[in-house]
Amino acid sequence: MDSFMLLHPVMQAFLGTLFTWGMTAFGASAVFFSKGTNDKLMDGMLAFAGGVMIAASFWSLLAPAIDMAEDSMVPGYIPAVTGFLLGGALLLLVDKMLPILNQDRFFTEIKDVKAKHRTALLVFSVTLHNIPEGLAIGVAFGALAAEFSNASLGGAVALAIGIGIQNFPEGMAVSMPLRREGMSKWKSFMYGQFSGMVEPIAAVIGAFAIILIDPLLPYALSLAAGAMIFVVAKEIIPGSQERGYVQISSICLMLGFAVMMALDVALG
């Protein structure tokens, strides 16, 4: 720990988000322990992923965005509502553009066109959600170099640890639905861990550009929340019930929400 404290805050931010990325990969590795592709289990896991995403949208993204805005004397609802609706609009645009793109290049093992589309939206939205989280960690460590009065190494480390632990179910929330659609365990894992790969990059940017990034963070967090809710409403919930396991998927969605809510509140 002493050697970590001696590092430059930008390097501390990078190492902190290597941990969060590693926890995402750890969660994604759960796919290696799944047995077969039982339809009921896989629909339940897709719904569980939806519950995780709904909870993360509020406790990991919207609530911090509102708090940050109010700390800077801006009404909390302004960035929350603005970013949230922009996030939904962004995913609506992506939703319209995906059929134009060559999805076969990335999801060759998924034959069903509708499933391929849903998979692309899921991976994109969760990856997008990790960018502002990485920025937040970068800003927390970068504030030390900028000598902000309210900045502390302990607070920045606690933020990185908290986000890292939250990333465990998020990694699983990507890899398990991909496995459900017929992707191999290895590729499902790779896409799951990839969703967290953006955090170290975003953290370094946030630490270097804290003066510019800090005022935009509430909007970025809210935008990611809107994007995730759009995907859950349009693809995750309908997809988890399309085989008729409505009761199972509803229970699993609530379990996913409860697990992520407990983690966010306990580590908040």
pLDDT in tens, 110-143: 777 777 778 888 888 888 888 888 888 888 787 7
Query: Three-class SS of residue 36?
Result: coil
Q: Taking the model in full, what pTM does it have?
A: 0.75
pLDDT of residue 181: 80
130 or 99: whose pLDDT is higher?
130
pLDDT of 152 above 70: no
pLDDT of residue 268: 60
72-92 pLDDT, tens digit per residue, is: 788 888 999 999 999 899 888
DSSP secondary-structure letter at 74? S
Under 8 Å CB-to-CB from 206, ≥6 apart: which residues?
A: 13, 134, 135, 136, 137, 138, 139, 142, 213
Give the integer Cα–Cα distance in Å for 185 and 36: 10
The CB density around residue 212, as the number of other CB atoms within 10 Å, is 10
DSSP E strands: which ranges in the chain?
none
pLDDT of residue 150: 55
> Which of 188, 192, 179, 200 is CA-nearest to residue 41?
179
Letter for the amino acid at 185? Answer: K
Residue 235 near residue 56 (C-beta atoms within 8 A): no
pLDDT of 147 above 80: no
The CB density around residue 265, as the number of other CB atoms within 10 Å, is 11
Residue 2 near residue 147 (C-beta atoms within 8 A): no
Q: Give the residue-averaged pLDDT of 51-57.
A: 86
pLDDT of residue 2: 60
Report residue 102 as tokens.
């060559």
Q: How far is CA 112 from CA 96, 104, 107, 174, 191, in A?
A: 18, 11, 10, 18, 18
Packing angle of the helix pair 153-180, 39-55 (nearest 10 deg): 150
Packing angle of the helix pair 39-55, 217-231 (nearest 10 deg): 150
Letter for the amino acid at 47? Answer: A
pLDDT of residue 29: 93
Letter for the amino acid at 266? Answer: A
188-226 pLDDT, tens digit per residue, is: 999 899 889 999 999 998 888 877 777 888 898 898 889
